[in-house]
Amino acid sequence: MSSDPIALTRRAAARWLGSGLLSITLVLLRSSPDSRAQDAPSDAETLFTGETYLAETRAGLFIAVIIGPSEGGTANRPARAFVCDNQRLGQGFVGELVGDELTLRPETSEREATPQPDTRLIGTLSAGRVTGEARHEGQTVMFVAAPATGVGGYWEGVRPPGGLVLAASSTGAHFLGQVAPAATETAEGPRERIDGIVTLPDGTQLPLTLNAAEPEAAIFRTVVLNDGRHCVLR
C-alpha cells in the first residue's frame, strides 16, 4: 500500500467508502469486546447527516450543530450537536428544531458519567446561522454557528490497526488517510499526524490533516472547522 494519501484515496476511496465498508467497520468495532472500542456509542445507527453549522466559542472549543429533514409530515426537524475541545471534552446532544427554536439534551451512555441536570444546548436558526448557548459541566458558552463548507463538519471515524483512517461527515463527505510513521512530541503529549483526502458529495477532493493523541482510539468523534482546525482525536 502506498504511503501517499492522495494515491491511496484515488485507488481505495470508492471501494471502502462507496461500498459502505466504513459503516460496517463502525458497527463491528462498536460491538467488539476490545477495550479500545468500549468508549464508543453502544448503538450502531448510521451517522446522522443534515444541514451542519459550526462554531468556535473560544480557543479550542468547537461546536457542530446538525439539523436533519422533517419527518412524518411535521414541521419539526430532528437535530444533533457535538461539543469538543482538546482536553477530553466530547459531549453529544440530541433533540429537535421546532419552528426556528432548537432544544437539545445530552446523549447518555452507561460508560460515561451522567451529565449534570442543567446540561443542554439551545439556539435559534435565523438568517442561515444558529445562535445559542451550550451548558455543560456548570459552564455556559454562547455561540454563533455558520454553515459548514469544504472539510468542515461533524466527523465520526475509525482508526483500525495498520495506520489507515476512515471517517464520514455529517455533510455527507468522506475521509481516507494514513497515519505518519512516527508520533510528534508536543507540550500536550505525543501527537500522531494523519494526512488524507476529503471527498465531498459532489466528488471534489480536498486535503486534510488530522492530529490524534495516543493511545490510539478505535473509534473517534470530532468537529472540524471549515479551515481544518479540529479537536484532537482520542
- 10-residue mean pLDDT profile of the chain (234 residues): values are 43 46 48 41 67 89 95 87 86 94 86 71 96 87 97 93 90 94 80 93 96 76 96 87
- Is residue 76 one of the residues assigned to a domain? yes
Q: What CATH number should be reported for the domain holding residue 91?
A: 2.40.128.120
Q: Same domain, yes or no, for 163 and 138?
A: no
Q: What length does the chain have?
A: 234
One domain for residues 140 and 154: no
**pLDDT score recorded for residue 197:** 96
Distance of CA 200 to the CA centre of its chain: 15
Which of 115, 147, 179 finishes a domain?
A: 147
Same structural domain, 55 and 139:
yes
pLDDT confidence of residue 113:
60
Structural domain includes residue 232: no
- In whole angstroms, give the CA distance from residue 139 to residue 76: 28
Residue 46 lies in a domain: no
Question: Quick one: 129 and 103 in the same domain?
Answer: yes
pLDDT of 101:
97
Is residue 184 helix, strand or coil? Answer: strand
Residues 162 and 125 placed together within one structural domain of the fold: no
**Boundary residue ending a domain (147, 170, 199):** 147
Label residues 31-46 b or e (16+ Cβ within 10 Å = b): eeeeeebeebbeeeee
Q: Considering the domain boundaries, does residue 211 fall inside one?
A: yes
- Confirm whether 229 is domain-assigned: no
Tell whether 164 and 105 lie within a shared domain.
no
Residue 233 lies in a domain: no
Q: Are residues 72 and 28 in the same domain?
A: no
Whether residue 79 is contained in a domain is answered as yes
| Number of domains composing the chain | 2
Grouping H, G, I as helix, E, B as strand and the rest as coil, residue 183 is: coil
Classify burial at 193, counting beta carbons within 10 Å of its beta carbon; exposed 0-12, middle 13-18, buried 19 or more: middle
Check whether residue 81 and residue 34 sit in a common domain: no
Residue at grid coordinates 440530541: 94
Domain that holds residue 176: 5-41+150-224
Instruction: Let me know whether 69 and 135 are in one domain.
Output: yes
- How many CA atoms, within 13 angstroms, populate the side-chain half-sphere of residue 31? 8
Can you give the pLDDT at residue 137?
74
Assess whether 25 and 62 both reside in one domain.
no
Cβ–Cβ < 8 Å for 125, 141: no
Same domain, 37 and 55: no
- Provide the b/e sequence for 89-128 (b: ≥16 CB within 10 Å): ebbbbebbbeeeebebebeeeeeeeebeeebbbbbebeee
Chosen domain end from 89, 113, 147? 147
pTM metric for this prediction = 0.81
Tell whether 55 and 114 lie within a shared domain. yes
Q: Is residue 230 part of a domain?
A: no
